[in-house]
A and B are shown apart, each in its own frame.
Chain A
Amino acid sequence: MQITITVNGAKRELEVTPYTRLLDLLREDLGLTGVKEGCGKGECGACTVIMNGELTASCLVPAPQADQAEIVTVEGLGTKDDLHPIQESFVEAGAVQCGYCIPGMVLASKRLLDEKPKPTEKEVRYGLSGNICRCTGYAKIIDAVMLAADKLAVEGSDSND
């Protein structure tokens, strides 16, 4: 069957089976390998994407359900030479070790900061709690999100000037 989705701003028409997972569609068909598979059952957050503004475990979404949806993956945030302020903050805070959880973490941070531009540390902790990281102990990831909030606030005030 045919579905239409907008991925990272580009509209795509795709042929899918009813049982294709959104995760596989993004990784295999569109080559967006920033979307990771950890558990495959909605428990770890590695496959997180932003779908219609909400954090979504793409391993649990049958592709037909994503018809007409707007999806953002980590590839939609920044490029290697032009990082998004959140990605920049992850680098600066030393928040990345093996990196497997990081695309999901970055998107969870984005979703949180879109809603709460000035989160408390507790709000950051809850905002990231659906994403499991086995390497970092989370401390530097939490630092990174606080740093990103500051950066985005400065950027925002610049553009208002």
Chain B
Amino acid sequence: MKKFGRGMATIMFGFGYGEGFPDHSIASIEIKEDERIVIRTAAADVGQGVITTVIQIAAEILRINPNYFEVVQGDTHKTKNSGSTSATRQTYFTGNAVKKAAEDMLANLYHYGSLEFRSNHPEIAIEDGRIYMYDDPDDYISYWEMAERVKERGEKLEAEGSFFPVTYSPDENGQADKVYVAYTFLSQVIDIEIDTDTGTIDLLDVYSAIDLGKAINPKNVEGQIEGGTVQGLGMGMMEDQVIRNGKTLNAGMTDYLVPTSVDVPKFKHYLVEEEDSEGPFGAKGVGEPTLIAAAPALANAVYDAIGVRFFELPISPSKIKKALKEKEKEENS
């Protein structure tokens, strides 16, 4: 028999290292004469999309098409420290560092613009890679020409930004002013169907509402939610490392199962954009929080479907079948 179940879980996640640990990111931007804008950051993109994110941020501040950007990343010879890609921190930390570098660059464009046009900042317009006087848009200097002219002055059209937020270690009661830079919240509802004969769980739908401050790239955010949730569901229903006498007995994908395309549910996302006061354009981190609610929501859905509480993961078909048998015995006695 198939039994439907719906479960929900809500989590909060403080991101960045927090607790007073020195956590920062440094980035720089250079405008080149050959129509390139180079961002330098050590932030590692492991697929989560930090490179896309920082380009979007810099392009927005510098009012120019993102296609002109190039990112030099993760080279200790060419980039300064951005901290690790961990703790759900890169969008927030490196996003802010790049935003500050871009703002400094914009200030430089105004500064050199006012020197070139012999005028003041309020008279000057900057848009689409052009610097001009408001009343004469046709007489413009492109960013690239400006880079050339700055070079002729013996300087470089470059800027740097860093982000060094302060956090505090909690006291003996677990309290402090600011333990983490900010918190991401996520609620998930998961619908499942359990086959009571085989004990298998069919994942139907997952509804996720995430308070992420601002989705700088909504598609990347959805990708993070889907990927994290599927990892959490894998942990919830199949991933089981079997260790005996210090040895992993199932170190391979034939016996350590992870979800495949056949297993995954359908998704619906609700992005709650309550801007964070310190995040770049209000954004908060979304990586790790997307994994946490899945297993508890699944366990609640299982309870809703068959009335059994599980306190150990994964909730495998054999465990479900065993629990159903025990339940039947109890009800009959």
Is B a genuine binding partner of A? yes
Residues of A whose CB lies within 8 Å of any CB of B are 39, 41, 43-44, 94, 96-99, 124-126, 128-129, 131-142
B70 to chain A: closest CB distance in Å? 15
Q: A97-B49, A135-B223, A138-B226 are in contact. List 15 more A-B contacts (CB 8 A).
A: A39-B253, A94-B220, A94-B223, A98-B47, A99-B47, A125-B262, A129-B261, A137-B227, A137-B229, A137-B259, A137-B264, A137-B267, A138-B261, A140-B226, A141-B261
- Which residues of chain A have C-beta atoms less than 8 A from B122's C-beta? none
Contact of A125 among B254, B258, B261 (CB under 8 A): B261
Is there an interface contact between B47 and A132, defined as CB atoms closer than 8 Å? no
Contact of B253 among A43, A133, A135, A142 (CB under 8 A): A43
Encoded as 1 (CB less than 8 Å from any A CB) or 0, chain B from 228 to 265 comes to 11110000000000000000000011100011111010
Q: Which 9 A-B pairs have the closest CB atoms?
A: A98-B47, A137-B226, A97-B47, A137-B230, A94-B219, A43-B253, A128-B261, A138-B261, A137-B227
Q: Is B111 an interface residue (CB 8 A)?
A: no
- The distance in angstroms between the C-alpha atoms of A129 and B226, with both chains bound, is 17
B177 to chain A: closest CB distance in Å? 36
Known: A139-B267, A140-B222, A141-B261. A98 touches B229 (CB 8 A): no
The closest CB in chain B to the CB of A97 belongs to B47
Known: A140-B222, A140-B226. A43 touches B254 (CB 8 A): yes
Known: A43-B253, A97-B47, A98-B47. A129 touches B227 (CB 8 A): no
- Which residues of chain A have C-beta atoms less than 8 A from B227's C-beta? 97, 134-137
Known: A137-B230, A139-B266, A140-B226. A97 touches B48 (CB 8 A): yes
Is there an interface contact between A134 and B258, defined as CB atoms closer than 8 Å? yes
Is there an interface contact between A135 and B267, defined as CB atoms closer than 8 Å? no
